[in-house]
Amino acid sequence: MKALVLEKYGPLEKGLALRQVGTPRPGNNEILIEVHAAGLNPHDYKQALGELQKHEPLSLPARMGADFAGRIIETGRGISDFSKGDKVFGLCSGAIAENCVVTRDDIAPIPPTIGFDQAAGLGVVGMTTLQAFARIGGIQRNDKVLIHAGMGGVGSFAIQYAKSQGAYVVTTASAESSEKLLELGADRVIDYRTEDYLKQCSDFDIVFDTLGGKYSYDAFRVIKPGGKVTSIVPAEINSYVAREFRLPKAVAFFLGLKPSRIRKLIKQKKATYAFVFMRPKARDLAAVAKLVEQGRIKPVIDRVYPLDQAIEALRYLAN
């Protein structure tokens, strides 16, 4: 079968290749999937470039991709709630391929209202959003929520999710994206090219920081006293990040002793803060599917590429 393989870290066109590899077989409690579509995320190209190897080292060569949608073609022993022919979506290691093997906890049925292409873009962004908000206690009706990078995969899902919870939603994006984001449910779109969102936003209940760096620190200027910040990109390597990446306890303890600007800001604002590294959970996938079936979430697709153009698709995403 064909699969996208990372052979060495570096420029995408030099490190990645489509290769013929052996078709995997499902073991006990495993499921073999015929992949019909694979979703791409920034994590994919960052991993290929080597930007994540410190915290997520790969044994090269390694198959690429995580998000997928497809059809079950074989089940191993112990699988009773899925059958051959079922249409499913979720996460698997090496999703950018013709086939992949998953466990029962990695998948959920595709909602009948969408197809393979749409379902393939739901897993990572959906679970990331649900876990990010859950870690700060969720969204309350009429909360003012700022979501950075609204046209990104996570941003576009998060806007719809926050709106479905009754929030007032503001997002940052380019002016060209405003109409689309308003359709998705944003109450206001701030053009990051011509407007300073820090002058436009204050006393917010929640900031969903999808960018990291200075945006993580500036989030505390936006929230009201006692507000909440949830981030999926670290601004600094601190004890929050160490615990989330499950680094040794001694490392987390040592980082807890070092000065941290984030901890200082939390104390000043009496804020709730979470750094979240998404981990697949069957219940979250099921919750994502339910939101789609109820019409609260509409998957957003930018472009569709054939498997043979997977490297080109990653270059497009990276640029």
- Which CATH number is 232's domain given? 3.40.50.720
100 and 23 in one domain? yes
pTM above 0.85, yes or no: yes
Q: Taking all residues of the chain, what is their mean pLDDT, rounded to a whole number?
A: 94
As given in the structure block, the two tokens for residue 106 are 């990695």
Residue 289 domain-assigned?
no
* pLDDT tens by residue, 13-33: 999 999 999 999 999 999 999
Q: How far apart are CA 287 and CA 294, in angstroms?
A: 11
pLDDT lower than 70: segments of the chain: 238, 242, 244-247, 250-257
Name 20's bridge partners. 2
113 and 134 in one domain? no
Place of tokens 């936003």: 201
Domain residues for the domain of 152 are 125-275
Q: How far is CA 163 from CA 15, 141, 145, 172, 251, in A?
A: 40, 9, 9, 15, 39
Task: Give the angle subtended at the CA of 197 by the CAs of 196 and 200, to the nearest 5°.
Answer: 100
Domain count, the chain: 2
pLDDT at residue 211 in the model? 95
Q: How far apart are CA 200 and CA 305, in angstroms?
A: 38
Residue 131 domain-assigned?
yes
The answer to whether the beta carbons of residues 284 and 146 sit under 8 Å apart is: no
Of 130, 160, 155, 83, which is closest to residue 280 (Cα–Cα)? 130
88 and 177 in one domain? no
Residue 286 domain-assigned?
no
165 and 100 in one domain? no
pLDDT at residue 143 in the model? 98
Supply the Cα-derived Rg of the chain in whole angstroms: 20
* Terminal-residue alpha carbon distance, the chain: 29
pLDDT at residue 142 in the model? 98
Task: Give the angle subtended at the CA of 93 by the CAs of 90 and 99, to the nearest 5°.
Answer: 80
Residue 284 domain-assigned?
no
Query: In the 3-class helix/strand/coil scheme, how is the chain assigned residue by residue?
Result: CEEEEECCCCCHHHHEEEEECCCCCCCCCEEEEEEEEEECCHHHHHHHHCCCCCCCCCCCCEECCCEEEEEEEEECCCCCCCCCCCEEEEECCCCCECEEEEEHHHEEECCCCCCHHHHCCCHHHHHHHHHHHHCCCCCCCCCEEEECCCCCHHHHHHHHHHHHCCCEEEEEECHHHHHHHHHHCCCEEEECCCCCHHHHCCCEEEEEECCCCHHHHHHHHHEEEEEEEEECCCCCCCHHHHHHCCCCHHHHHHHHHCCCHHHHHHHHHCCEEEECCCCCCHHHHHHHHHHHHCCCCCCCCCCCCCHHHHHHHHHHHHC
Name 18's bridge partners. 4
241 and 163 in one domain? yes
pLDDT at residue 242 in the model? 67
306 and 187 in one domain? no
231 and 139 in one domain? yes
CATH number at residue 98: 3.90.180.10
Residue 169 domain-assigned?
yes
209 and 67 in one domain? no
Residue 290 domain-assigned?
no
Residue 285 domain-assigned?
no
219 and 183 in one domain? yes
Quick one: 199 exposed, middle or buried, by C-beta within 10 A (0-12, 13-18, 19+)? exposed
180 and 144 in one domain? yes
Residue 281 domain-assigned?
no
202 and 245 in one domain? yes
223 and 99 in one domain? no
Backbone angles phi, psi at 215, to 5 degrees: -65, -30
* pLDDT tens by residue, 54-99: 778 899 999 999 999 999 999 999 999 999 999 999 999 999 999 9
